[in-house]
Amino acid sequence: MNQKIAKSASRDFIYSVLALMVYNGVLQLVIYPYLNSHMGAEAFGTVLYLISVISVMGASFGSGASYGRMVAKAQRTQTNGDYNIFLWMIAGISVVVSLVTLVVLHEFRIGLYLQLLVLMVISVFRYYSDVQYRMTIRFKEYFIFYTAIAAGNLLGIALYPISRSWSLTVFMGEFLAVLYTFFSGTIFRKPYFEKSQDYKQNMHAVWVLSSANLVSALILNSDRLLIRTLIGAQEVTIFYTATLIGKIVAMLTTPLNGIIISYLTNYKMKFTRKIFAGVCGAMLAVSILASGVCTFISWYFVKIMYANVFEAAKPYFLLANAGQIFYFISGSLMVVVLNFTKEKYQLYINICYLIVFVAIVIPSILMFGLSGIAWGLLITNIARFIIVMVVGFKFIR
Q: Is residue 298 within 8 Å of 268, Cβ to Cβ?
A: no
Q: Each residue of 386-395: pLDDT tens digit?
A: 998 888 888 7
What values do phi and psi take at 329, rounded to 5? Answer: -65, -40
Q: Which of 14-23, 252-261, 314-323, 324-333 has the lowest mean pLDDT?
A: 252-261
Q: How far is Cα 231 from Cα 228, in angstroms, rounded to an integer?
A: 6
Average pLDDT score over residue span 128-138: 86
263: pLDDT strictly greater than 80: no
DSSP state of 59: I
Tens digit of pLDDT for each residue in 5-15?
A: 556 667 777 88
Instruction: Indicate whether 112 pLDDT > 90.
Output: yes
Mean pLDDT of the residues in the chain: 87
Of 251-265, 293-307, 357-371, the range with the lowest mean pLDDT is: 251-265
Q: Give which of 390, 391, 365 is closest to 379, Cα–Cα.
A: 365
- Asked if pLDDT for residue 202 goes beyond 60, the answer is yes
3-state secondary structure string across 103-118: HHHCCCCHHHHHHHHH
The full DSSP string for 239-257 is HHHHHHHHHHHHTTHHHHH
Q: Percent of the chain scored above 90 by pLDDT? A: 48
pLDDT score, position 87 = 95
Task: For residue range 55-89, list pLDDT tens digits in order.
Answer: 999 999 999 999 888 878 777 877 888 999 999 99
Phi (first) and psi of residue 164, to 5 degrees? 55, 35
Q: Is the pLDDT of residue 337 over 60?
A: yes
Of 299, 291, 300, whose CA–CA distance to 320 is shortest?
291
Q: What is the pLDDT of residue 1?
A: 46
CB–CB of 9/136 below 8 Å? no
